Amino acid sequence: MERDQSVFATKVREQINIWFDENIDKQFDARFRMRFNEEFGDALKPRFDEMAALVREKTVEEVRTRVSDTVERKIVSPTLNDILERTIAQVRAGENSPCNPSALPSPKADEGGSDEVLNQFEDVLYKNCCEEVKSGGRFEAKFKAAFEAAFIEAFPEIFDEKFDEVRASVFGADSPLCP
């Protein structure tokens, strides 16, 4: 069972979705038009919209999920872990930390408490360390670069796989239209 998301995780997903929505239509339309024209030319133009809808339905959410997971694994989690490690080191050294340890929640004994504590901790990091995370645009630049790399990697692979699946289902695997 997936836990509720913290404010931090929710904000990250929102930004990924914004960038994804800004990119997917243009990329999908260009790639679909190219593949369709290369493989079918004008002969099958009446099937263009039907196939585009089928490929889009099979492609978009899978690409979105893979991109989100990749960005979270490569950028978001390591950033939170880095802030946590530095905060612990600062507190142990008796230094002030931008993440106020007194604002951190205390663990709860109930069964669902650990997820709630984790969410609260991420929210405290987000609220109290937001300027540090965004300082000089480093986090945002790394975040955007990771998104772009994940999108560039996932989209063509998933698109081509789904295009081939749809072509086989529409025309039959034994059709001369299916290489």
Specify the pLDDT at position 1.
37
Length reported for the chain: 179
Q: Write down the pLDDT at residue 3.
A: 46
Q: Which of 120, 131, 113, 17 shows the shortest CA–CA distance to 63?
A: 17
What's the confidence (pLDDT) of residue 61?
95
Compute the distance between CA of residue 36 and CA of residue 47 in angstroms, rounded to an integer.
10
Q: What is the pLDDT of residue 70?
A: 93
pLDDT of residue 139: 72
Distance between CA atoms of residues 24 and 30, nearest Å: 10
Tell me which long-range contacts 115-120 makes (C-beta under 8 A, separation of at least 24): 115/3, 115/4, 118/3, 118/6, 119/3, 119/4, 119/5, 119/6, 120/6
Residue 107 in 3-state DSSP? coil
What pLDDT does residue 93 have?
Answer: 74
From first to last of the 179 residues of the chain, give the pLDDT tens digit. Answer: 344 556 667 777 888 899 999 999 999 999 999 999 998 888 888 889 999 999 999 999 999 999 999 988 887 777 777 777 777 777 777 766 655 555 555 544 444 556 666 666 666 666 655 655 555 566 778 888 999 999 999 999 999 999 999 988 887 765 555 55
List alpha helices for the chain, DSSP H.
7-40, 48-71, 77-92, 113-134, 138-171
Report residue 102 as tokens: 């007194």
